[in-house]
């Protein structure tokens, strides 16, 4: 295991002459919760999609445990242990909470494409599914249809499904977006809890979440890496203050004090 489990080296992405990500060097330390932040239009989502191979970089390298994965497909890097979530809730609404988690666990059986098999052969996964649901606080919702869950609980279910795929690196795309105050704190605490023994890279706008659970933070502005460090480091950086044009900087200063 390398000190840095995920690395971007000179990562660049152009769209028809527009440079969305510009020569970004970023290193995510194994075992850290690493936040990627920046003002709107900074290139966070593009960078995130490059790292998870949903976009092909114009130039640069992506390394996982020191191995070059720049040319690999999203499915291939997922099998290596890099698993991502999305901004929009992505559960199977007509399956139960347990069945959603079993979809993630099914890969371990090696029968993902055995469509002719009865669904009862998945019952062997129920015990592990229940344990994962307990980990994310959803044990009492086991038989509930996923589509009937409140939004914050759906996010918790997504994390359970992600954990079911046994990730080395969890990449979370704005995990608290659109949540109420109570759900934000619940999901932030959940991310902190399930990060034990694995690495988390997340794009997140909520500074209280970032300050509360992040070990290290990278700040993007106009596609470039503007600053990197602990929350105190970036909250005291005048370039970061200027980038946010006062909209978040007051909160950054107050929380760092």
Longest dimension (CA), the chain: 61
CB 133 within 8 A of CB 190: no
pLDDT in tens, 137-194: 899 999 999 999 988 888 889 888 888 888 899 999 888 887 788 888 888 988 998 8
CB 222 within 8 A of CB 42: yes
Task: Assign residue 223 a region (left: φ > 0; alpha: ψ between -120 and 50; beta: otherwise).
Answer: left
Is the pLDDT at 15 greater than 80, yes or no? Answer: yes
Q: How far apart are CA 134 and CA 99, in angstroms?
A: 15
In terms of average pLDDT, the best of 43-47, 117-121, 194-198 is 43-47
Helices marked H in the chain? 44-51, 74-80, 97-105, 126-135, 151-164, 181-194, 207-213, 231-235, 238-244, 249-256
127 burial class (0-12, 13-18, 19+ CB within 10 angstroms)? exposed
Question: Strand order of the sheet with strand 82-84?
Answer: 82-84, 169-173, 199-203, 33-37, 216-221, 224-229
* Residue-range domains of the chain with CATH: 4-256 (3.40.50.300)
Q: Stretch 84-100: mean pLDDT, rounded?
A: 82
pLDDT in tens, 33-70: 999 999 888 999 999 999 988 999 999 999 999 999 99
């Amino acid at each position: 295991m390398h000190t840095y489990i995920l690395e971007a080296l000179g990562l660049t992405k152009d769209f028809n002459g527009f440079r969305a990500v510009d020569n970004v060097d970023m290193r995510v330390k194994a075992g850290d919760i690493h936040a990627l932040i920046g003002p709107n239009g900074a290139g966070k989502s593009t960078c995130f999609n490059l790292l998870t191979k949903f976009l092909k970089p114009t130039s640069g390298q992506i390394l996982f445990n020191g191995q070059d994965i720049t040319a690999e497909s999203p499915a291939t890097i997922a099998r290596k242990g890099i698993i991502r979530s999305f901004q929009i809730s992505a559960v199977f609404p007509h399956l139960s909470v347990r069945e959603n988690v079993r979809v993630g666990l099914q890969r371990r059986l090696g029968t993902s494409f055995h469509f002719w098999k009865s669904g009862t052969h998945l019952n062997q996964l129920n015990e592990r599914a229940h344990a994962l649901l307990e980990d994310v606080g959803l044990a009492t919702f086991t038989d509930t249809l996923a589509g009937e869950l409140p939004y914050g609980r759906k996010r918790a279910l997504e994390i359970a499904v992600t954990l079911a795929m046994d990730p080395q690196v969890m990449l979370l795309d704005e995990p608290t977006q659109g949540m109420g105050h109570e759900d934000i704190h619940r999901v932030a605490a959940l991310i902190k809890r399930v990060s034990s023994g694995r690495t988390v890279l997340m794009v997140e706008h909520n500074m209280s979440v970032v300050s509360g659970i992040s070990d290290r933070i990278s700040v993007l502005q106009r596609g470039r890496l503007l600053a990197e460090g602990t929350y105190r480091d970036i909250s005291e950086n005048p370039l970061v203050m200027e980038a946010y044009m006062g909209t978040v900087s007051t909160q950054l200063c107050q929380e760092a004090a």
